[in-house]
Amino acid sequence: MMKTILPALGQAVVLNSYSTAHHIGSSRSLKSGLQVISEEVTEAYNVIPNLDLLIPSLMSKGINFSGSSLEMVPGTPIPPMLARITNGTLHVLTSFQNRAFTCEYKYVLFFICLKDLFHKVKPGFLEFAKEITVEADEAYLSNESTVTNINTFFEDACKSSCEGIMAKTLDIDAGYCASKRTDAWLKVKRDYIEELGDSLDLVPIGAWYGNGRKAGWYSPFLMACYNPDAEEFQSVCRVMSGFSDEFYKSMKEFFSGEKILSRKPPYYQTDESPDLWFSAEVVWEIRGADFTISPVHHSAVGLIHPSRGISVRLPRFVRPVSDRKPEDCTTAADIACMFNSQTRKMYVGTEH
């Protein structure tokens, strides 16, 4: 909602200025004025996301408003800076070639001893950082061990239940840009490295009606594994990523008629309530980030947790699996085994 409110505030100021001072038009066109002020208001809100403080300044300065005139207020959170996605540590080295950078567990420092560091240039910031951090061995791109060091650090992060690491430049374009995605920060997450993802063969047993661009199609799909001992399909996750428009269309045609069930079968185990239930017809390969305990999904229930199942985090569709029948898909025991073998361990309690 703020994405439309903030530009609207800036446009209101510009239009009001043009209506009361026509001479402004000679120095700045209406179109550029709208764009400049809208960007300034948005930038200011990123620094101080409080309309009660921003609007009075905007009304006071009018078309001369500048986001740089506002400073952060302790206790008022600001939006995070965003990082580019990478597909591995080699991507980081390529992007930061001939540039100083660091790999770290994510942290951001804005204030020290009540001093505002937000507008500090990076060299000044580092003087403060040296006072609160420990020295680390430097890694140089010319050293073949750099990749090994980063990979080791990344693996340690995953084993410590972190999602990954952040790589940040230390010299060029190293400032903090709230709510902006830049190439100065790169994130290496377990989700983005394909060889670390666990591949499952799952069966679509239901779906919801799509919204927005996917209106008229089925999205997301409810995916399930099979428990041969209980002869039942147990839900694992919802999937709405990885599909093409053509695939959506074909699945809308495929899951129709008798393939749409009037009610949930007793051999479907899940706490989900999709709009439609499907008969078990096909198998899809699904790849995800890692496994987690779920209060909704029932896959491997009782094998890891007494009353909860296992779910896949950030699942995405890979391809149809044409050489498997639904009963030949990934089993509940398979998922329990994968959960136990993953490097990023999840806490498993015993409470409901």
CATH number, domain 197-341: 2.40.50.140
Are 211 and 221 in contact by the 8 Å Cβ rule? The answer is: no
Other C-beta atoms lying within 10 Å of the C-beta of residue 52:
7
Beta-bridged to residue 181, according to DSSP, are: 82
Q: First and final CA of the chain: distance in angstroms?
A: 37
Going by CATH, does the domain composed of 82-194 fall within 3.30.1490.70?
A: yes
Beta-bridged to residue 188, according to DSSP, are: 165
Q: Where are the domains of the chain?
A: 2-69, 82-194, 197-341
CB proximity list for 318: less than 8 A, separation 6 or greater: 199, 242, 284, 285, 286, 287
Residue 101, token pair as written in the block: 């950078």
Q: What is the dihedral of CA 200, 204, 209, 215, to 10 degrees?
A: 60
Residue 60, token pair as written in the block: 């006071």
Q: Which of 201, 205, 171 is nearest to 324 (CA)?
A: 201
Catalytic residue among 3, 61, 106, 264: 106
At 56 the three-state DSSP class reads helix
Q: What is the pLDDT of residues 284-312, one digit of tens each?
A: 999 987 889 999 999 999 999 999 999 99
Q: What is the pLDDT of residues 27-81, one digit of tens each?
A: 456 677 777 888 888 888 888 888 888 888 888 887 788 877 777 888 888 888 8
pLDDT of residue 12: 85
CB proximity list for 250: less than 8 A, separation 6 or greater: none
Are 11 and 42 in contact by the 8 Å Cβ rule? The answer is: no
Place of tokens 């089993």: 331
Question: What is the distance between the alpha carbons of residues 218 and 102, in angstroms, rounded to a whole number?
Answer: 43
pLDDT of residue 193: 64
Under-50 pLDDT residues of the chain: 23, 26-27, 107-108, 110, 118-125, 134-143, 195-196, 351-352
Please confirm, yes or no, whether 180 is among the known catalytic residues.
Answer: no
Are 107 and 83 in contact by the 8 Å Cβ rule? The answer is: no
What 8-state DSSP symbol labels residue 258? G
- At residue 316, φ and ψ (nearest 5 deg) are -145, 145
**No. of H helices and E strands in the chain?**
8, 16
In 3-state terms the chain splits into helix, strand, coil percentages (rounded to 5) of 35, 25, 40
pLDDT of residue 125: 47
> By CB neighbour count within 10 A (0-12 exposed, 13-18 middle, 19+ buried), where does 218 fall?
buried
Question: What is the distance between the alpha carbons of residues 89 and 165, in angstroms, rounded to a whole number?
Answer: 10
